[in-house]
Structure 1
Amino acid sequence: MELDIIGIALKLWLLNALMINCNSAAISLKDQSPIGGQGLYNASDDVVILNATNFKTNVYGSTRSWLVEFYNSWCGYCYRFAPSWKALASDILSWNDIVVVAAIDCADDDNNPICREYEIMHYPMLKYFSVNAHPPSLGLVIEKGDNIDSVRHNLVSRLETEQQEGRGSTWPNITPYRNVEITDIWRTTSSNVKYFFFIFENTDSPLGTEVILDLHRIGSLQIRRVTSDNELLCVMNKVTKFPTLIAFGRNESQRVVNVRVSSRQGVRRAIKDYVIARGVNIDETIGTTVSHDTAWNAENAHQTTIGAKSLIVKSREEQEEEQRSLKKTDDYLYQLDLENALRYSMNNEISQTKSIDGEKMEALRKYLAVLAAYFPLRRSNTYLEVIRDVVKSRTTMTGEEFSQLAKTTEEEMSPVYSGLPHQWMGCKGSANSYRGYPCGLWTMFHMLTVNFALEPNKVPQADFSQDPAAVLRAMHGYIGTFFGCADCAAHFVEIAGKNRIFDARSRDEAVLWLWRAHNEVNARLSGDATEDPEHKKIQYPAAEHCPACRYVNGSWNEEEVLQYLRTKYSYNSIKYDGISGYDSDVGTINVGNGSRVRLGRLAKEKRTTAFGWDLNVFDISICVVLYVTSAAILVLVCIKFAVKRTKKKSHINLLFKA
């Protein structure tokens, strides 16, 4: 009885301490490198790489505007988008005194607060920052569109609006020419200008602005755009088709310049040829752009074909040939993969959301409830239970508050995890940009669905215990709300709706639903640019791992598939490879409800405290336990004295009545 009281008091005290102190973590966590890898851009690209240190000093107060991609290095869509972003940066490099193309990796732990502050809800997200922007400006979202031209056109539209609103006064004039008289254009033109060009175009065309920006560094040229709604000027110059290019020389009459191809490159080439023919020297490197349109369209067509690919059952011979061509891999469930997925989810991904309330809060509660009940943390699930209970007691919280809650709880109960972060086992890719966290998240949810089915009475009092689709419901809420890759999340939600995710009538049916969905995703991504060349997207399980899972005609034997999944993802099958340097027999203390808090760990690493003492993790753990135990005893002593005082008072009252 006394032990139970101590346990309950300890857990209540810990909950209260975490809720009060979640905004001021006492000991910083070590080795919190991003699981996503080293980023998608490097110094050889024309993309400026931003981070938490240089972001605000570059973007705010700048004489240039900034177009920033917020991305995540493990996000498949970001990986596919990166070549296009590099191409855009190269394509408009001559504009870099006006607008800078940049990127910041939100998978990097150090950048996480920046991405949260700027309300990055999915990846990739493009934001435009005006000239001389200052806090609290968070930038304007620029739509990505379907191709590189769409992104550039959206940027051009933004730049035009900026100048019309009074910003960008040092830029070349990209607003439409509104005068009806063009004979006196030289009065306000620099003496260095030899030729003046008018580009007549439709009102919604980005062509004129793009050509002006492409050639604005050539001091001998002045270019203005005239839109088709300036009817009087069009009539006066006998312009009846768009685009039309008219040139003016200082001592020449106006001429209509022949444009062979009515495109940005065609107009630029026509201007260049015209002035060179008249003896004006132009640097050959200025205004030169490489067209990525063909490559982009070919890639897009390829992606569309893959995206439309249906689940076609291959012949047994085709499957066996495919398997022989693949590098042999193991087929195990690793604790490190599960913990790394959980760690990144808790410490990085959820915290990206600026404000968690309403449906987001409900999704988070369901996710945490399932994790607290069925995630196999080796050193007890009290870490998850505490976070679950704190979140359950709140109606709203910020992503930063959740981040501090997760990290503070982890520090208070250290060690929570078995191994070092960003060390994958079964989910390790052939390069840092492959597999990793997305693979780990799939693995984690497979494990949860299977053990929810294998141990239905593990947590009978849980709110979700009677719902066979509880894990799928938690997964659907998490992916739709918190998963950073917008493209991936949208596809999963689409699959969930099409295949009726919540209609699972039994826990085993939920296990099979997730298996089918995973194979559907594999079919869509097979051959994709994000596919690891050494770990092909196959229809799993592979024949070598489960020969009985397919009939002779190649179709699935779902009874055998279910048995395979129940075996592979059960707690008993978890492998602990890669986990070393930790003592599995360190003592624990009971805190009630069958949960236990680990007292500490023996480790070689040391931490220097704020007082300058060189204490190892074991020393700090002992101090924390002694502090917690002392507080619990103090609470019990207070309760005991209060009870005695109450009894004494009652006894005195009885004497007076007598």
Structure 2
Amino acid sequence: MSRQMLSLDDRRYVWEVTQNKIRGSSWNHTIRVGVVNCIDSKNTRLCRFYEVESYPTIRLFNANLEKDDLGMTIKKASSEVLQEKIIQFLIDLQKKNLGAPNWVNLLPYSSKIESIFRNVPQLVKSAVLIVEKNDSLVGSHSILDLGLYETIYVRKIDAGSPALDYIEILDIPAVVVIDRETNKNHVLKGNATTREEITSMIMKEFGIVKEEPSKNISPEKDSSGKPPKGINNGTDQVYMVDIENALSNSLLNEVAVKKNITGVRYQALVNYIDILIRYLPTRPQVLNFLKNFQNHLKKHSYITGEQLVNVIRDLQSTTSVLPEKQQWKGCLGSKPTFRGFPCGLWVTFHTLTVNAVFREKDNPDYNPKDVIRGIHGYVKYFFTCDYCSTHFQEMYKKDAETFVQKPDDEIMWFWTSHNKVNMRLKNSASEDPYHPKQLFPTKKNCPTCYLSHDNSFHRENVKLYLKKLYNSTSISYDGVQALASIEDGKSTSGSADK
């Protein structure tokens, strides 16, 4: 069963930004890239301070960073647009004389041609002027691309600059090379108009060969072809350890990263805790923690992320426990970047919908939309994968409220939505090679879930399968950390009714 929610777009985006486009390129003479994993609890305070509430988030900082400077946020964009924003950020700083001394100069050259080598190290044998319109960033791209090569000095110059009056330039953009020893210049021949073409033309002129970083982002299996030890063998068994991990992660790493939680976001947190208490079949110590946390929330209307962490810490006791991170079981990925929390979250959501139906079967006043609304609020206001949250909200807006009219409908809506996500992410960079994305459940695990004549789903049998799979009586407690018994203080790893 595949339960991963991380999107290909996010994985590829982060890869291109941090590896191929910046860190792995020649831009690292001016740009330094740091990657912070905000899901790691060690980084929660840092991410909260810088108001990083969804991923991927790109922040640009000046080299001379001042205290409390939160930098400039770049919304998710293509790698090309991202580079343009970075260039404009550098140019704006240099206009204010705030750039670092080792940066390449991205401001237009405005002096006489014969003065271009003034204050330039003797190691530099040639200067290059990229002639372009004053609103173009093509030259800046090439300057950054070539900044590592110490024997050439590259600047851009506006096409209308008086410094070019004695140079015959027929087309714009153009590339002018000036020899330091003779002070003679010549215009490179060729019809180069793009950043890549101009950079390539200059490199060819000086015999420069650039090594390209690897762009392989496809997941691969180990050379042995065998899954790592402990990886789920393809069964759909639900484990309490995965649910508890998802619960802890959702509160300590997702909710706690928010700087301020108030208004509709605070109410979404209250609703999320409410459905967890009502329908998540947790161990009694964990249930006590959720109730204690709920009581705290009811007394207030606002909480900061830092306060939330402190409240969770203060509520810990032998009878009130939010478990620490444990080893994933059914959601264990072949690598730390695969499955884990997104998988555990899907398990938790399915478990909520199924157990709500069982617990409310004799309640004529039960509203089957309570659970999906509570989950939707959590995903909308707290789930940090921005792309995943947006896509989930789109699915919800399309038909959740109209589809769910009776209790069983919430089970089937989540099942349908889960399969939509699986098919969208099939063969993506987020796919664990040992857990390929496929329709759930598989025919192997549930033969009766498929119609024999056309291989489509038998929806009624699927519903029965889900009710059995996610029922509280079917959950395995294998692998959970031992908790002190509420009754006598003895260690226990099971549920209250086991």
TM-score by length of 2: 0.85
2:59·2:73 contact (CA, 8 Å) conserved in 1? yes
Q: In structure 2, do the counterparts of structure 1 residues 411 and 116 end up closer, same or farther at CA, with 3 Å as the change threshold?
A: farther
SS in 2 for 1:103: coil
Structure 2 CA distance for aligned equivalents of residues 428 and 146 of structure 1: 31
- Report 1:535-574 matches (<5 A): 535-552=435-452, 553-574=454-475
Alignment of 1:507 with 2:407, yes or no, is yes
Identity score, percent: 29
Q: In structure 2, do the counterparts of structure 1 residues 76 and 193 end up closer, same or farther at CA, with 3 Å as the change threshold?
A: closer
Which residue of structure 1 aligns with residue 425 of structure 2? 525
Higher relative contact order (CA 8 A, sep 6+): 2
SS in 2 for 1:168: coil
SS in 1 for 2:325: coil
Which residue of structure 2 aligns with residue 201 of structure 1? 132
Which residue of structure 2 aligns with residue 362 of structure 1? 267
- Of stretches 407-416 and 329-338 in structure 1, the one that deviates more from structure 2 is 407-416
Alignment of 1:249 with 2:179, yes or no, is yes
- Report 1:205-354 matches (<5 A): 205-228=136-159, 230=160, 237-250=167-180, 251-259=182-190, 261-274=192-205, 288-290=210-212, 329-354=234-259
Q: Which amino acid aligns with 1:556?
A: F
1:76·1:488 contact (CA, 8 Å) conserved in 2? no
Which residue of structure 2 aligns with residue 650 of structure 1? none
Alignment of 1:475 with 2:375, yes or no, is yes
Q: In structure 2, do the counterparts of structure 1 residues 442 and 274 end up closer, same or farther at CA, with 3 Å as the change threshold?
A: closer
Q: List runs of 5+ in structure 2 lacking aligned partners.
A: 219-231, 493-498
User: Which of 306, 312, 331 is equivalent to 1:406?
Assistant: 312
Which residue of structure 2 aligns with residue 484 of structure 1? 384
Alignment of 1:422 with 2:326, yes or no, is yes
- What do residues 404-431 of structure 1 show as CA deviations (whole Å, max 9, x unaligned)? 21222134744454xx623122212222
Structure 2 CA distance for aligned equivalents of residues 272 and 415 of structure 1: 62
How far off its partner does 1:272 sit? Answer: 4.5
How far off its partner does 1:388 sit? Answer: 1.5
SS in 1 for 2:391: helix
Structure 1 CA distance for aligned equivalents of residues 291 and 193 of structure 2: 64
Which residue of structure 2 aligns with residue 51 of structure 1? none
Which residue of structure 2 aligns with residue 132 of structure 1? 64
User: Which of 391, 397, 400 is equivalent to 1:497?
Assistant: 397
Q: Which amino acid aligns with 2:422?
A: N
Q: In structure 2, do the counterparts of structure 1 residues 247 and 338 end up closer, same or farther at CA, with 3 Å as the change threshold?
A: same
Structure 1 CA distance for aligned equivalents of residues 24 and 472 of structure 2: 52
Q: In structure 2, do the counterparts of structure 1 residues 458 and 494 end up closer, same or farther at CA, with 3 Å as the change threshold?
A: same
SS in 2 for 1:101: coil
How far off its partner does 1:207 sit? Answer: 2.6
How far off its partner does 1:75 sit? Answer: 7.2
Q: In structure 2, do the counterparts of structure 1 residues 227 and 395 end up closer, same or farther at CA, with 3 Å as the change threshold?
A: farther
Structure 2 CA distance for aligned equivalents of residues 459 and 97 of structure 1: 66
2:403·2:413 contact (CA, 8 Å) conserved in 1? no
Q: Which amino acid aligns with 2:212?
A: V
Q: Which amino acid aligns with 1:540?
A: F
- What do residues 260-295 of structure 1 show as CA deviations (whole Å, max 9, x unaligned)? 64444543443345457xxxxxxx57xx35277xx6
2:350·2:414 contact (CA, 8 Å) conserved in 1? yes
Q: Which amino acid aligns with 2:267?
A: E
1:429·1:435 contact (CA, 8 Å) conserved in 2? yes
User: Which of 431, 446, 451 is equivalent to 2:355?
Assistant: 451
Structure 1 CA distance for aligned equivalents of residues 58 and 257 of structure 2: 16
- What do residues 505-555 of structure 1 show as CA deviations (whole Å, max 9, x unaligned)? 111111111111011111111111211222222211222332222222222
1:348·1:403 contact (CA, 8 Å) conserved in 2? no
Structure 2 CA distance for aligned equivalents of residues 240 and 219 of structure 1: 29
Structure 2 CA distance for aligned equivalents of residues 216 and 564 of structure 1: 61
How far off its partner does 1:211 sit? Answer: 2.7
Structure 1 CA distance for aligned equivalents of residues 362 and 331 of structure 2: 28
User: Which of 291, 308, 314 is equivalent to 1:385?
Assistant: 291
User: Which of 600, 609, 629 is equivalent to 2:489?
Assistant: 600
1:198·1:224 contact (CA, 8 Å) conserved in 2? yes
Structure 1 CA distance for aligned equivalents of residues 188 and 90 of structure 2: 27
2:130·2:157 contact (CA, 8 Å) conserved in 1? yes
- Of stretches 547-556 and 187-196 in structure 1, the one that deviates more from structure 2 is 187-196
2:169·2:187 contact (CA, 8 Å) conserved in 1? no
Alignment of 1:87 with 2:20, yes or no, is yes
- What do residues 32-82 of structure 1 show as CA deviations (whole Å, max 9, x unaligned)? xxxxxxxxxxxxxxxxxxxxxxxxxxxxxxxxxxxxxxxxx9776554344
1:245·1:259 contact (CA, 8 Å) conserved in 2? no
Structure 1 CA distance for aligned equivalents of residues 297 and 239 of structure 2: 28
SS in 2 for 1:356: strand
Structure 2 CA distance for aligned equivalents of residues 132 and 272 of structure 1: 32
Structure 2 CA distance for aligned equivalents of residues 450 and 110 of structure 1: 34
SS in 1 for 2:55: coil
2:423·2:438 contact (CA, 8 Å) conserved in 1? yes
Q: Which amino acid aligns with 1:374?
A: Y
1:376·1:571 contact (CA, 8 Å) conserved in 2? yes
Structure 1 CA distance for aligned equivalents of residues 130 and 244 of structure 2: 60
How far off its partner does 1:244 sit? Answer: 0.2
Q: Which amino acid aligns with 2:297?
A: V
Q: Which amino acid aligns with 1:449?
A: T
Structure 2 CA distance for aligned equivalents of residues 576 and 191 of structure 1: 71
How far off its partner does 1:331 sit? Answer: 2.1
Structure 2 CA distance for aligned equivalents of residues 475 and 349 of structure 1: 14
1:567·1:573 contact (CA, 8 Å) conserved in 2? yes
How far off its partner does 1:108 sit? Answer: 1.6
Q: Which amino acid aligns with 1:526?
A: K
2:245·2:328 contact (CA, 8 Å) conserved in 1? yes
Q: In structure 2, do the counterparts of structure 1 residues 540 and 192 end up closer, same or farther at CA, with 3 Å as the change threshold?
A: closer
Looking at secondary structure, tell me which structure has more helix per residue: 1
Which residue of structure 1 aligns with residue 228 of structure 2? none
TM-score by length of 1: 0.65
How far off its partner does 1:210 sit? Answer: 2.9
2:318·2:486 contact (CA, 8 Å) conserved in 1? no
Which residue of structure 2 aligns with residue 628 of structure 1? none
Which residue of structure 2 aligns with residue 25 of structure 1? none
- What do residues 173-229 of structure 1 show as CA deviations (whole Å, max 9, x unaligned)? 2111245x545545665655443321012344333223323434555433221234x
SS in 2 for 1:176: coil
Q: In structure 2, do the counterparts of structure 1 residues 366 and 172 end up closer, same or farther at CA, with 3 Å as the change threshold?
A: same
Q: Which amino acid aligns with 2:467?
A: R
Which residue of structure 2 aligns with residue 117 of structure 1? 49
Aligned residues: 471
**What is the root-mean-square deviation of aligned Cα atoms in Å?**
3.1
Q: List runs of 5+ in structure 1 lacking aligned partners.
A: 1-72, 277-283, 301-326, 589-598, 604-658
